[in-house]
Amino acid sequence: MGTGTTRRSTRDVLTGQSIRTVSAPRRGVAQLKLDCPPPCSWDAAHASAFIEQIAAFGDDPEVCAIVLHGRRLFNDVLAAKTAPDDSRSAVYAAVASSTKPIVAALSGPVTGSGLELALACGARVALPNVTISNLARSEGHLPAAETLIRLARLVEVERAADLAVFNAVWDSKAAVEQGLIDLVAARDLLQVAEKLAAGCKEERRVALTAEPEVVAAKIYGLRAKVRREAPQQTAPMMLLRAMELAWQTPARRARAEIDRLDETFAASPEAQALTYAERGQAALARAAVPAELAHELAWPLLREAIHLLDEGATPGQIDRELQKFGFRVAPFLRSDREGLEAVFRRQSGPANGEDWITYSPTLDLMADEGRTGGADAPGWYRHGSDGRYTFEPEVDRLLQASATFQRCARAPIDDEVVVERCLTAAINGTAHVLEAHPDLSPSLVDAIWTQTLGFPKWRGGPLYMARTGACDPLASLERWIKVRNTAGVAAPLLRRIIANA
């Protein structure tokens, strides 16, 4: 992807994994189109060639500004992570320090290293379908220091925390309101980007900086929110500290301190789990996996949740404890919203007698009573007009009937037991599924859990937790099978995975 004159009308240069299109400048604005993934997947030669091209534009007297665009350029969802951090940092630095203003023309999702690249540009123009999310760097790292410093020039700290810490997804309207996007183009994105680029001055737009006392107060409030919403995670609190440095500390010192924080976090068990999960998700994107496999994997956990209801737990307790564990979705609330069959099914049909180790009639009773959830039927909860929901007394009657059928007495269940039993059933069930699909790997089925089934990515996945000793599913199975066999015997594969860890 070497350099060369931009005076020719249009030229395509094939280099490794991408086609670079360089267009002759109109109104002094040159277009650089990269039909390739974002910088996280570039090799050193690709990054070097890009930097050389930016420098060539800077030296060209006919170019006064640059529009950077590409179909996949700003979206690194599940991209392969190959570029070293120093190579990526050099790419962003070349864009940020270009002698000619660079405008990013954005379409579709803007995430990860693609978002870092967009932030390095002097301005951003987007189509209405653009979404902004996932600022954190890949494979167990905090966002780069330079990325946070650039974000601090554009967005106030609370909104930036929504994006970086609390996983907010901004549409184009919200991104404009927060100052991250300069213009939304209803149509003809490149023409609007060219006009903006032609009017750009070389200095970068900088947001008004709040007083240090104000930033400190907001960071304090955000810390309280993290302790409330993510008490078991390491990354959110470290990221808040990095953001505080970026917003309140001179850039040179902030870079050094944020780099040290990143080194500390990268060595943590949580970062290692994130690395494992992201590599598994990247492999999953390239694999041919049956769509119904996710239902087969989820069923043992859901089945255990039903048994817990029969024994005395409530839907609200199970939903709450699974979300505290880190699940993105609450099964019973999701069942009310999407329908009983959409959630509590295995493979291609609803759960039936053959799907149970110890049979529970609870789902059959719910269906017989018409409590199938969805848009037109009641479900597990009583939903108010204000959006709040409470446990439905009629469901309690059905659960008592189910317990009577199974000759078990209902009694309150500790919150810790709810999580332990659901997690143990998920781990053992996943190992059984993997035995039935020898063409798959533990990392692939863990990736289905983290990507599709809402398992917390920062925990790696059910099998990862078993392999790394984060839990002891064999001891749990042996203990609970003496009380009531609802999760089955330990899969031989699970014993091998733990023995070989």
pLDDT value at 55 more than 90: yes
Residue 216 to residue 203: CA distance in whole angstroms: 28
Residue 196: pLDDT band with limits 50, 70, 90: confident
The pair of structure tokens assigned to 428 is 């053992």
With 0-12 / 13-18 / 19 or more C-beta atoms within 10 angstroms meaning exposed / middle / buried, residue 405 is middle
Amino acid symbol at 218: K
What phi and psi values does residue 35 have, to the nearest 5 degrees? -90, 70
Rounded to an integer, the average pLDDT of 129-143 is 83
Cα angle for residues 259, 263, 265 (degrees, 5° grid): 115
Range(s) of the chain covered by CATH 3.90.226.10: 10-130+181-198
Say what angle helices 157-164 and 235-248 make with each other, to 10 degrees.
150
* Cα distance between the two ends of the chain: 44
Residue 486 to residue 77: CA distance in whole angstroms: 38
CATH 3.90.226.10 corresponds to the domain 10-130+181-198: yes
8-state DSSP, 169: -
DSSP 52-85: HHHHHHHH-TT-SEEEEE-SSTT--TT----S-H
CA atoms lying within 13 Å on the CB side of residue 115 = 27
Residue environment code for 438-463, b if the CB has 16+ CB neighbours within 10 A, otherwise e: eebbbbbbbbbbbbbbbbbbbbbbbb
Q: Greater confidence, 196 or 447?
A: 447
Range(s) of the chain covered by CATH 1.10.1040.50: 293-499
The predicted-structure confidence for 79-123, as pLDDT tens digits, reads as follows 445 556 678 889 999 999 999 999 999 998 999 889 999 999 999
Least confident of 65-74, 92-101, 144-153, 201-210: 201-210
Rounded to an integer, the average pLDDT of 469-491 is 93
Residue environment code for 324-356, b if the CB has 16+ CB neighbours within 10 A, otherwise e: eebbeebbbbbbbbebbbebbbbeeeebeeebb
Comparing C-alpha atoms, which of 117, 140, 453 is closest to residue 266? 140
Average pLDDT of the chain, as a whole number: 87
pLDDT value at 155 more than 80: yes
pLDDT for residue 40: 82
The predicted-structure confidence for 388-425, as pLDDT tens digits, reads as follows 889 889 999 999 999 999 999 999 999 999 999 999 99
| CATH tag for 293-499 (out of 1.10.1040.50, 3.40.50.2300, 2.40.160.40, 1.10.3720.10) | 1.10.1040.50
Residue 43: pLDDT band with limits 50, 70, 90: confident
**Which residues does 363 contact at the CB level (< 8 Å), separation at least 6?**
306, 340, 344, 350, 351
Strands (E) located in 362-462: 381-383, 389-391
E strand or H helix that includes residue 102: strand 102-106
The pair of structure tokens assigned to 338 is 């999407």
Rounded to an integer, the average pLDDT of 209-238 is 89
pLDDT value at 244 more than 90: yes
pLDDT for residue 201: 53
pLDDT value at 11 more than 80: no
Say what angle helices 251-266 and 269-286 make with each other, to 10 degrees.
80
Residue 191: pLDDT band with limits 50, 70, 90: confident
pLDDT for residue 77: 62
Residue 337 to residue 366: CA distance in whole angstroms: 15
pLDDT value at 172 more than 90: yes
Residue 22 to residue 6: CA distance in whole angstroms: 7
pLDDT for residue 9: 42
Least confident of 116-120, 237-241, 481-485: 481-485
Q: Greater confidence, 350 or 171?
A: 171
Residue 155 to residue 177: CA distance in whole angstroms: 10
User: Do the beta carbons of residue 187 and residue 238 sit within 8 Å?
Assistant: no
Residue 247 to residue 391: CA distance in whole angstroms: 44
pLDDT for residue 7: 40
The predicted-structure confidence for 273-323, as pLDDT tens digits, reads as follows 999 998 999 899 888 888 889 999 999 999 999 999 999 999 999 999 999
User: Do the beta carbons of residue 440 and residue 276 sit within 8 Å?
Assistant: no
Tell me the torsion sign for CA atoms 48, 53, 56, 57. negative
User: Do the beta carbons of residue 175 and residue 123 sit within 8 Å?
Assistant: no
pLDDT for residue 241: 95
Amino acid symbol at 420: E
